[in-house]
A and B are shown apart, each in its own frame.
Chain A
């Protein structure tokens, strides 16, 4: 299959099998997904259906057992660890369920962690200043606070600022609201939505929460390691209006 011009990331017949001793877990069993330029994709599915595995492979954090992966016209399948690292370094922003901030660094320093290494990219795009990124998620006043001094939602927004500061080609979020209450989750989703609208970053968000699908351009549902359904949203709902 020849990747289309507006496809940022594409997986083709991807399987992932974890082997632990005698035990084999087929986390993905032949998945085809494409992430289109500028879209906001929501990945739904029950626990254990393979969402995180899929996202990790999309973000080159992990490699498929079989199948192929492309970033634009560049094939990622078979690339060595170093090339995958370079790919993540230049093009991917990650937001994790448990934030994964560095506890010994302030909010601003956590963002700088990424902008520090985003300067040698080839596309000439300059990363944002750390304070600018924090401004986008509404945390500029807290930039000198350590993660332990921030609430869960604030930490997650720092994580988002950290992920988008380098202006990545794709932003991948694994259950960004998973550890948060409804109201806080909403604030985080607003931040994501705002960034998506303002700088048009291609975004994929994993969630358990079917309602969140409302804010997406497309909703892909996984079940048991396979794509169960793909649904396009004709009318998107803002995070404020999601029926949680």
Chain B
């Protein structure tokens, strides 16, 4: 071992530090791009891991069900048969019912889901997490534990009262505790796709209280199961369905299809996709920049390398020497990246926590993840720098003692085509430069393209959501208010509804839970029956043409049709999951493009024929005077037959709020990152051109070119890279966005694949802005170049 010099560094390491200082702009830019890569990687990954861990703990601790089975009404003894199904570990029967809630200070009604608690002890399955207070005392029918978010949204306190309207009877419930539940991590009320904490709440009551109110003594309307590890869930579902068939079973489903879990799983999936794709783009660009910049340093130090080798520095020492340069950049990148990850991770977790409610969501960045992040970064940097470092290692010393032979320039395509006269000399120089180093130019263009694409994939979803909302709530749903009735009624009920305050127009609908089958494929959905000539509801296809069901046909939404593998003209088997559970074979009419919910559609009378009923309704769409809305809500709360009431306006508002809250942040972050990436690329491109061509540029100045004309050469290159990169990036972004649609386009919320013009405009402007800033830098660098100095120096 060489003796370690305690005082001061070895001279060759001093050189590393001085090189870093000299190249600080370029190396700093690379470190920042690297930092974005690690920061995004670790930030998104730790957010995902934190959510996954929180979910796992939460589900395990509260014994979240593996299988759910809603039904109409079954006597408690049926539970014994359910318990006997092989693979079932434990089960919990419950009474679950939706009611209208009357909350002090709220004019419109909220939907309340009442869930029974066992008389003794905690639920075996789907326990709740008590945040404050206590469970209702046994035998009390006026106490309830309420979903924390609902309590918070209404600024209620323990001891406050909520009125539940059950069958027109107003029952006052006192809040004795607040709770969270894994079933309502993402708390959606009926028909909602975004949580609206003010309008949907869950209340847990003693079983007795609910049994009395809903005539469910010794019976249950919902059962959930924990299954043994490794049990065949599909088989268990089938058996449960068979047992519950006579009791109005609505179809058992696995945890993966539970509403809250679907949304959460989907969110995690998106996080995973974006958390891989986006950091990969940054790391790839950083690797490319390292390759170019270190390559340029090595090329520029050919003679220094040769001298070092001549005096006896070993190949390995030289490799290490340049590796240290890279290591310093990587260390800076990782340091900054960890800060970024810390900020990004903790704020993303907070953001998710506002939509997905966990007992605790403590963001953390475990050492294991940090190591992974470091590993990925080092790998990217290593791959990027390897070739350049190798070039230094293999450089033959004798060879390098003589100056490199003059670069070989060829006539550009323009010249070969005889178009020289048309091209000004500055442009010719730019083109030759690019032709001489086509790979570098290509990679620069690719990097600009990636930047542009980054903005597209980061923002296009907002356009999709907006379009979906506009179509859904502007063209498809045209009612002011929709009512859900407690049970099906004859169309005579329309008369009553027409007399509710402010109602101008009423149209009935009938929603029926069914199982659709086609060959071996099946799915549980709802068919909504729409009266012929309905004005308040339109079903549209992908080209926004009306495909409202006619005759006996059923209209299926695209995603459902895909899953059943049917097209217009085929037939599907419909198994009704209520009443006397008829089955029928129904022709598939058209394929619809609906965005929210999973409903299929039939004409109302045709649907009722299928059900074997005279025409009935269990809900209605209303047009209402704005002034009378409050009165309507007040009346609905006291009308026994109305089980739910929803204003279209509110749904739109929730979406607007969600978009308003997130669009700004999302845009800022997206554009910020993209700008950093583009700047890193263009700034380095300009620096390198300047370094390589400074003699030529200076010579041109001496030959009498004006500063402006010389600057044009430098800016020409930046401009050309940008101008070629942007359209490529828009195309690339569109391609990637198309791929990402799969993870955004979910069962519950399907999004149309559109990229709005503003998305393209934004993406292009971001790269352009970067080009302008880089040009400004380049211009300033040129200002500083001392013509005489450059010409004197031997390069």
Contacts and interface: CB of A to CB of B under 8 A. Distances in A.
Interface stretch (A112-120, A181-189, A203-211): A112-120
Interface in B381-406: 396-398, 401
B310 A81 contact: no
Interface string A97-109: 0101111110001
B435 interface: no
Interface string A194-214: 000000000000000000000
Contacts, number: 90
A9 to B, nearest CB: 16
A80 to B, nearest CB: 11
A105 B315 contact: no
A68 B309 CA distance: 22
B19 A104 contact: yes
A59 interface: yes
B17 to A, nearest CB: 9
Interface string A74-102: 00000001100110111011101010111
A62 interface: yes
Given A113-B11, A119-B3, A94 B19 contact: no
A94 B312 CA distance: 10
Interface string B313-338: 11101000000000000000000000
Nearest to B12: A113
Contact of B314 (A52, A89, A118): A89
Contact of A116 (B5, B19, B396, B401): B5
A66 interface: no
A110 B14 CA distance: 10
B318 to A, nearest CB: 10
Interface string A31-72: 000000000000000000000100010010110000000000
A96 B309 CA distance: 13
A105 B18 contact: yes
A43 to B, nearest CB: 16
Contacts of A163: 311
Q: Which of A59, A93, A114, A116 has most chain B Cβ within 10 Å?
A: A116
B794 A98 contact: yes
Nearest to B18: A104
Interface string B341-375: 00000000000000000000000000000000000
A117 B308 CA distance: 11
Contacts of A92: 312
Given A100-B304, A109-B14, A116-B11, A62 B312 contact: no
B12 A96 contact: no
B521 interface: no
Given A82-B315, A85-B312, A114-B312, A105 B11 contact: yes
A185 B317 CA distance: 34
A85 B314 contact: yes
A162 interface: yes
B726 to A, nearest CB: 38
Given A104-B18, A105-B18, A110-B11, A86 B312 contact: yes
A100 B306 contact: yes
Contacts of A52: 401
B62 to A, nearest CB: 63
A119 B312 contact: no
B307 interface: yes
B77 interface: no
A120 B2 CA distance: 6
Contacts of A93: 311
The 6 closest A-B pairs by CB, nearest first: A89-B312, A100-B307, A62-B398, A104-B18, A112-B11, A113-B11
16 contacts: A59-B310, A89-B313, A96-B310, A98-B303, A104-B15, A104-B22, A105-B15, A109-B14, A109-B15, A114-B312, A116-B5, A116-B11, A117-B313, A118-B312, A119-B2, A119-B3
Interface of B: 2-3, 5, 10-12, 14-15, 18-19, 22, 303-304, 306-315, 317, 396-398, 401, 794
